[in-house]
Amino acid sequence: MNTVSQMRIQKPAEEIFEAFVDPEKIGGFWFSSSSERWQEGKTVTLTYKEYDAEGDIKIIELLENEKIVFEWAGSHAVTIHFLPEQSNSTIVKVKEDGFDNKDENLISQLLDNKEGWVYMLTCLKGYMEYGVSLRASLIKQG
Amino acid sequence: MNTVSQMRIQKPAEEIFEAFVDPEKIGGFWFSSSSERWQEGKTVTLTYKEYDAEGDIKIIELLENEKIVFEWAGSHAVTIHFLPEQSNSTIVKVKEDGFDNKDENLISQLLDNKEGWVYMLTCLKGYMEYGVSLRASLIKQG
């Protein structure tokens, strides 16, 4: 099982790609910061200061302005594609693989995951197109 | 089965509630228009001009600034709660009930539904807090 989420953003792929890999920019739409610039082969620590949380990701592949692949959450692989369109817009496509089809909590894991990616992508759109921050406001079901 | 999605928005409940029921405002964050102001007992047609699509919802309950319940998609019931917090912020909570646990496409139905609500709520946040439109840019998995 995997999840796939896709958003059209009215900016060129280079600008959007840069927002992921630049530790100063990620705080505009996703985690509050990265420990360093994303590079192939690096392990980067992502911090969520609002939730007093952090986690490592391992950058498996980084194809400038086109594709990022990283591992997190154990054996989960995340692939982000930057697909250029006409008129300088870009489709950002996120796929996460590695869900265990036999896990009794599979459905809630998939829903949490889908929620997180759609939220991040919409925050990314707001940040790239208007420079506004919409992050850290999703409330998990209690 | 149901889905529950919740977002904190830095505006009072009255303003956010009004954005749902006013046919001029819904186009800022969700459908492009409503056929009329939402009122208890009414059937309202929602139009997505970008997708050349429309559908009816039946307003079952409308408690000013607090709660909206409507039916759509056959037997699905949607409940939107507006939960005031301190500092004039509000948690908007959306619950959709009516999924058939035995449907072979249950997981994809739940994921599509979760995607739609999280996207709408994030667009609502952008519209209410910054007056920006982020809607009609989610790409369904092809």
Q: What percent of chain A has pLDDT over 90?
A: 93
Would you call A7 an interface residue with chain B, using a CB distance cutoff of 8 Å? Answer: yes
Of B107, B123, B141, the CB nearest to A4: B141
DSSP letter at B50 equals G
Helix axes of B13-21 and B106-130: crossing angle, nearest 10 degrees: 120
Q: Left if phi > 0, otherwise alpha if psi is -120 to 50, otherwise beta: which for A96?
A: beta
Q: Which two tokens stand for residue A10?
A: 């009215």
| Residue B94 touches partner A, C-beta closer than 8 Å | no
Beta pairing partners, B83: B91
pLDDT at A73 over 80: yes
Domains annotated on chain A, with CATH: 2-130 (3.30.530.20)
Closest chain A CA to residue B4: A141
pLDDT above 60: residue A142: no
Average pLDDT, chain A: 96
The alpha carbon of residue B35 is apart from the nearest alpha carbon of chain A, in Å, by 27
Put simply, the answer to whether A141 touches B111 (Cβ < 8 Å) is: no
Read off the pLDDT of residues A112-131 as tens digits, 9 standing for 90 and up. Answer: 999 999 999 999 999 999 99
Does residue A63 sit at the B interface (CB-CB below 8 Å)? Answer: no
Question: How many Cβ atoms sit within 10 Å of the Cβ of residue B78?
Answer: 21
* Crossing angle (nearest 10°) for helices A106-130 and B106-130: 30
On chain A, the residues whose CB falls within 8 A of the CB of B111 are: 3, 110-111, 114
Measured between beta carbons, the chain B residues lying within 8 angstroms of A3 are 111
Distance CA A2, CA A26 (A): 24
Give CA B109 to chain center in angstroms. Answer: 17
SS3 B9: strand
Residue A141, pLDDT above cutoff 80: no
Q: Tens-of-pLDDT digits for all 142 residues of chain B?
A: 999 999 999 999 999 999 999 999 999 999 999 999 999 999 999 999 999 999 999 999 999 999 999 999 888 999 999 999 988 999 999 999 999 999 999 999 999 999 999 999 999 999 999 999 999 999 987 5
Q: Assess whether pLDDT exceeds 80 at residue A23.
A: yes
